[in-house]
Amino acid sequence: MLKIRAGNSLFSTDGIRLDIEDDQVRATGRLRFSELERIRYNIMGPFRFLPFLQCRHSVVSMSHLINGKLVINGKGYSFQDGMGYIEGDAGYSFPGEYAWTQCHHEDISLMLAVADIPIMGFHFIGVIGVIHIYGHEYRLATYLGAKAIQIKDETVVVKQGRYRFMAALIQGNGLKLSAPRKGRMERTIHESACCTVRYRLEWDDKKMFDFTSDMASFEYEFKGS
């Protein structure tokens, strides 16, 4: 079981126990998670064995139910069969340029990350992504032949064999977050934790899905594109 303690708070694969108090925030409560929906194998694939990677990604749960209640600065928030997602990063730096998105929509749960990866003196654009739809798992990854064919105007298009996947930010509300740079949390990134994104998946130009969600998350840190 994954467990992370931060002060008096506990974060685990079973749920969250929140107990935070400082000059600006008082937050308490508990959330319980249902059984996690795992992916078939490590999202990094064979790349997890490469040394010197600045960041290693993990997907803990594509989907699970959330129940419980939080109280933040005196305001209560109740969760009844809410939808959850858990992932993680380990390393000393985020990629210099990257895009990331995650969304639940009806029976679809998906995530995608595209990043400029430096390793041993050269760079490449790496892709990792998973789509769970109607009980099936589709994976997009560099080690399976996926390539980013468009990274522009907060839109990412990935092609792998006969599959083509698009994620486009329609309306964001980016908030500043601290991120690691060479082992220190001194970089500022912008994450739209709840925003509007359009997603489309095609197989041989035949639409598998095409929807827009205002309950998506999106980060876009590619510069000049």
Give the span between the Cα atoms of 225 and 218, in whole angstroms. 16
Class of domain 51-64+79-220 as given by CATH: mainly beta
pTM score of the predicted model:
0.92
Site of tokens 């974060």: 11
C-beta of residue 157 within 8 angstroms of C-beta of residue 165: yes
Quick one: average pLDDT of 124-147? 96
Give the span between the Cα atoms of 106 and 96, in whole angstroms. 33
Q: Which of 122, 125, 129, 137 is nearest to 167 (CA)?
A: 129
Give the span between the Cα atoms of 24 and 137, in whole angstroms. 42
Give the span between the Cα atoms of 85 and 224, in whole angstroms. 30
C-beta of residue 141 within 8 angstroms of C-beta of residue 45: yes
Give 55-109 pLDDT, tens digit per residue: 999 999 999 999 999 999 999 999 999 999 999 999 999 999 999 999 999 999 9
Give 110-130 pLDDT, tens digit per residue: 999 999 999 878 899 999 999
210 class by beta-carbon count within 10 Å (0-12 exposed, 13-18 middle, 19+ buried)? exposed
Q: Which of 176, 177, 174, 144 is nearest to 160 (CA)?
A: 144
Structure tokens at 143: 């080690």
Give 5-45 pLDDT, tens digit per residue: 999 999 999 999 999 999 999 999 999 999 999 999 999 99
Structure tokens at 180: 């690691």
Give 173-220 pLDDT, tens digit per residue: 889 999 999 999 999 999 999 999 999 999 998 999 999 999 999 999
Q: C-alpha distances in angstroms, 218 versus 21, 72, 82, 103, 211?
A: 29, 24, 19, 9, 15
- Going from N- to C-terminal start, the domains of the chain cover 51-64+79-220
Q: Which of 85, 105, 116 is nearest to 225 (CA)?
A: 116
